[in-house]
Amino acid sequence: MSFADSSAVKALGDGRWGASIQPGWDIAGNANGGYLLAISARALAAAAGRPHPITVTAHYLAPGRAGSVTAHATVVRHGTRFATAIATLCAEGRPMLQATGTFADLDALSGPELLDGRPPDLPDPADCIAARPSEPEGFPPPFTAHVDLRLHPRDATFFDGAASGQPLIRGWFRLPHDEPIDPFALLLAADSFPPTIFNTDLPVSWVPTLELTVHVRGQPAPGWLACAFRTRFISNGLLEVDGEIWDSDAQLVAQSRQIALVPRAARS
């Protein structure tokens, strides 16, 4: 099933939007955080009546399991260009994710341009390391069947048990079967790559995200996205991951930042 169908929402009335967390979009049983953010953002955008996310923040409250979910959305601002809405994504009435987003029509925005940065320097996708599901080991997880990830070989040595020593993951992203990448798929891309700390001496383990914010900066051109995720600060059991996502025209199309918990084994 495509990303678009797997993240679709339908109006249930009274500000409620229904969706299904599809099986297989998980890491060790927990649905991917970017996928959950994309579902939530589709509900928020529909509620706000604007086509594109500009800035979306999720606080993760409980693991997401496959099955029906409902987003309860409220529009808190409906301006000329921007509209803001909040939603709680719930499964069986229990909150799983709290989302806030501001939405607009990206195609109606314009202004001067400054780019102090460039896409990460990546080998051709064919010369990168594909992350594909491994059974029965479970790593890479089932989720990687739904995204086409190609990691920079220098950042992929952890697959063989040898961390690079730099909490940096660079690589290409696209959707399988040439599915077009819309701004909601950028939210997915922002949380699709393996954790940066797999390239440190911290344990290779679940890295729970407390909060993830994605800024969508432009409509992506067709083709591979060049992505880089970096952690600079680990302290007090917390770490941030900063992401940049560039399209095939070398335009920055999204920035992301999340704050996550250092794996429990390293904290105790």
Give the whole-angstrom CA distance, residue 112 versus residue 182.
23
Q: Which of 12, 76, 162, 250 binds a second copy (CB under 8 A)?
A: 76
Residues near a second copy (CB under 8 A), total:
53
Beta carbon of residue 84, minimum distance to a second copy (angstroms, whole number)? 5
The answer to whether residue 8 forms part of the interface with a second copy (CB under 8 A) is no
Q: How many CB atoms lie within 10 A of CB 46?
A: 18
Taking CA atoms, 65 is separated from 30, 105, 204, in Å, by 6, 32, 22
The answer to whether residue 95 forms part of the interface with a second copy (CB under 8 A) is yes
The answer to whether residue 80 forms part of the interface with a second copy (CB under 8 A) is no
**DSSP codes joined into one string, 150-204:** EE-GGG-GGGGT---SS-EEEEEEE-GGG----HHHHHHHTT-SPPGGGGSSS-S
* Only segment of 34-42, 104-112, 125-133, 149-157 that touches a second copy (CB under 8 A): 104-112
The answer to whether residue 10 forms part of the interface with a second copy (CB under 8 A) is no
Beta carbon of residue 237, minimum distance to a second copy (angstroms, whole number)? 4
Per-residue buried b or exposed e for 167-190, using 16+ beta carbons within 10 Å of the residue's own CB: bbbbbbbbbeeeeebbbbbbbbbb
The answer to whether residue 118 forms part of the interface with a second copy (CB under 8 A) is no
Residues lying near a second copy in the complex (CB under 8 A): 54-55, 57, 59, 61-62, 76-77, 82, 84, 86, 88, 95, 98, 100, 102, 106, 109-117, 167, 200, 202, 210-211, 213, 215, 217-218, 231-240, 251-252, 255, 257, 259, 262, 266-267
